[in-house]
A and B are shown apart, each in its own frame.
Chain A
Amino acid sequence: MARTEEVLESAGRRRRSFSPRYPGWLTTPSLLYYAIFFLGPLAILVAFSLATQTGFDAISYGFDTSQYHLVTDSLYVKIFERTLLMAGGGSLLTILVGYPIAYWMARYLSTYKLLALLLILVPFWTSFLIRTYALKIILDPHGYLAEDLGIDIMYTKWAVAVGLVYNYLPLFIIPVFASLERMDWSLVEAATDLGAKPYNAFRQITLRLTLPGVVTGALLVFIPMSGEYIIPNILSGGNYEFVGNVIGDQFASAQNQPFGSALSISLMIALSGFVALYILFATKEERFGA
Chain B
Amino acid sequence: MSSRGTDSAYDVEFRTVTKRFGNLTAVNAVSFQVRQGEFLSLLGPSGCGKTTSLRMIAGFEQPDEGEIVIGGVDAVGTPPYRRDVNTVFQQYALFPHLTVLDNVAYGMKQKGVGRSDRYQRAREALELVRLTGREKHKPSMLSGGQQQRVALARALVNRPRVLLLDEPLGALDLKLRKEMQIELTRIQGEVGITFIYVTHDQGEALSMSDRIAVMSDGVIEQLGTPAEIYDRPRTAFVADFIGEMNFLEGTVSRTEDGEYDVTTAGGVVVRARGEATRGQAVKVGIRPARMRITGATDDGVVNAARAAVDTKMYLGDEVQVVATLGDGTQVVIREQRAGADAPHDAIRPGDPITIQWDRNAPVLLAETPTEQQE
Partner-B contacts on A (CB < 8 A):
184, 186-187, 189-198, 200-201, 205, 208-209, 288-290
Contacts and interface: CB of A to CB of B under 8 A. Distances in A.
A290 B158 contact: no
Interface residues of B, number: 26
A91 to B, nearest CB: 23
B140 interface: yes
Contacts of B97: 208-209, 288-290
10 contacts: A189-B80, A190-B93, A191-B106, A193-B155, A194-B86, A194-B110, A194-B154, A195-B158, A209-B97, A288-B97
B96 A190 contact: no
A187 B93 contact: yes
A187, A200, A208, A290, most chain B CB atoms within 10 A: A187
A241 B210 CA distance: 76
Contact of B87 (A184, A193, A289): A193
Given A195-B107, A205-B95, A289 B80 contact: no
Contacts, number: 67
A189 B93 CA distance: 9
A196 B103 CA distance: 13
B89 interface: yes
B55 to A, nearest CB: 9
B96 A289 contact: yes
Interface in B128-182: 138, 140, 154-155, 158
B81 A192 contact: yes
Q: Which 4 A-B pairs have the closest CB atoms?
A: A194-B107, A195-B110, A190-B93, A186-B93
B60 to A, nearest CB: 6
Contact of B81 (A197, A209, A289): A197
Nearest to A197: B81
Contacts of B1: 195
A190 B95 contact: yes
Given A195-B110, A289-B96, A186 B91 contact: yes
B328 interface: no
Interface string B3-44: 000000000000000000000000000000000000000000
Interface string B279-306: 0000000000000000000000000000
B87, B97, B106, B138, most chain A CB atoms within 10 A: B97
A195 B96 contact: no
A197 to B, nearest CB: 6
A194 B96 contact: no
Given A195-B1, A290-B97, A190 B140 contact: no
Interface in B21-79: 58-60, 79
B111 interface: yes
Nearest to A285: B97
Interface of B: 1, 58-60, 79-81, 85-87, 89, 91, 93-97, 106-107, 110-111, 138, 140, 154-155, 158
Given A189-B60, A190-B87, A288-B138, A195 B93 contact: no
Nearest to B140: A289
A187 B85 CA distance: 16
B119 to A, nearest CB: 16
Given A190-B87, A195-B1, A197-B81, 7 more contacts: A189-B58, A189-B80, A193-B58, A193-B60, A193-B87, A198-B81, A200-B110
A288 B87 CA distance: 27
Contacts of B59: 193
A122 to B, nearest CB: 32
Given A187-B93, A288-B138, A289-B96, A194 B106 contact: yes
Contacts of A187: 93, 95-96
Contact of B86 (A193, A196, A201): A193
Contacts of A193: 58-60, 80-81, 85-87, 155
Nearest to B151: A190
A181 to B, nearest CB: 16
Given A191-B106, A195-B158, A184 B81 contact: no
A290 B86 CA distance: 24
A178 B161 CA distance: 39
B95 A186 contact: no
Contacts of B138: 288-289
A201 B58 CA distance: 16
Contacts of B154: 194
Nearest to B91: A186
B79 A192 contact: yes
Nearest to A186: B93
Given A190-B95, A205-B95, A209-B96, A195 B81 contact: yes
Nearest to A208: B97
Nearest to A209: B97
A208 B107 CA distance: 17
A288 B58 CA distance: 31
B89 A189 contact: yes
A190 B89 contact: yes
B80 A192 contact: yes
Contacts of A191: 95, 106
B365 to A, nearest CB: 38
A184, A190, A194, most chain B CB atoms within 10 A: A194
A13 B368 CA distance: 64
A192 B110 CA distance: 9
B164 to A, nearest CB: 9
A205 B59 CA distance: 19
Contacts of B81: 192-198, 201
Contacts of B91: 184, 186
A196 B59 CA distance: 13
Contacts of B85: 193
Contacts of A198: 81
A288 B99 CA distance: 10
A202 to B, nearest CB: 12
